[in-house]
Amino acid sequence: KAGVTQTPRYLIKTRGQQVTLSCSPISGHRSVSWYQQTPGQGLQFLFEYFSETQRNKGNFPGRFSGRQFSNSRSEMNVSTLELGDSALYLCASRGEWGGDTQYFGPGTRLTVL
Amino acid sequence: QKEVEQDPGPLSVPEGAIVSLNCTYSNSAFQYFMWYRQYSRKGPELLMYTYSSGNKEDGRFTAQVDKSSKYISLFIRDSQPSDSATYLCAMGPYGNNRLAFGKGNQVVVIP
């Protein structure tokens, strides 16, 4: 099976702009989670989608949002970018509710100037 | 107190040595425990996964969980230069996909 794919791999934006990142889970996986990874805070949970519904949300401001499509692909959006949003954004997919572990994609590295 | 504590200090060992990594946690709801390996500029790759207290072996890797002490460990035997990476512990409550991660340990295995 192909792994989790994320596009784009690298992005450079300026403060105030918005950005959309995309994630395609492993075929057959319906759960997609998003994480932010920074050197200072490590990996932090953003949100999780299952069957097009947000099932969990982390402690991030409302500028961070996401959605999931009927084919399980997911997007996350960050509006009004701040310098502190520079990070590696990771997507992870999971097979069954409470059953399998999460498998990560390569991430999108976002730099905000 | 953070939910998961992992001393982020780098670790350098000679090839062939045993690498020992550990994490402590505070949330009693955590029921499943994982170790991920992350190479530079890559996403985390799952190494080990367990629900129960005790030891679980997979080749050169052993994961150890002590739920009574809220302490987990990863041991790498006969370490190789290819094991040089950052190792992250992760855990979560059963039935919940929201994982809590340690900050990771950068391991360097010197040939």
**A106/B97 Cβ within 8 A:** no
Optimal mutation site among A37, A102, A108, A109, interface B, most CBs of chain B within 10 A: A102
- Are the beta carbons of A37 and A109 closer than 8 angstroms? no
In sequence order, what are the beta bridge partners of A33?
Answer: A48, A92
Q: What is the pLDDT of residues A29-81, one digit of tens each?
A: 889 999 999 988 999 999 999 999 998 899 999 999 999 999 999 999 999 99
Cα separations in angstroms, B86 against A20, A51, B45, B98, B101: 28, 32, 10, 21, 13
Of residues B82 and B10, the one with the higher pLDDT is B82
What is the Cα–Cα distance from B111 to A63, expressed in whole angstroms? 46
Residue A52: what pLDDT?
Answer: 93
Q: Is B87 an 8 Å CB contact of chain A?
A: no
- Are the beta carbons of B11 and B107 closer than 8 angstroms? yes
A101: nearest CB among B34, B43, B103: B34
B34 contacts in A (CB within 8 Å)? 101
- Band of pLDDT at residue B51, cut at 50, 70 and 90: confident
Mean pLDDT score, B82-100: 88
Distance of CA A37 to the CA centre of its chain: 10
Provide the 10 A C-beta neighbour count for residue B10. Answer: 9
Distance of CA B21 to the CA centre of its chain: 6
- Band of pLDDT at residue A97, cut at 50, 70 and 90: low
Residue B8: what pLDDT?
Answer: 74
Q: What is the pLDDT of residues B10-46, one digit of tens each?
A: 899 999 999 999 999 999 989 889 999 999 888 999 9
Q: Which of B110, B101, B89 is nearest to B21 (CA)?
A: B89
Q: Which residue of A has its CA nearest to B102?
A: A42
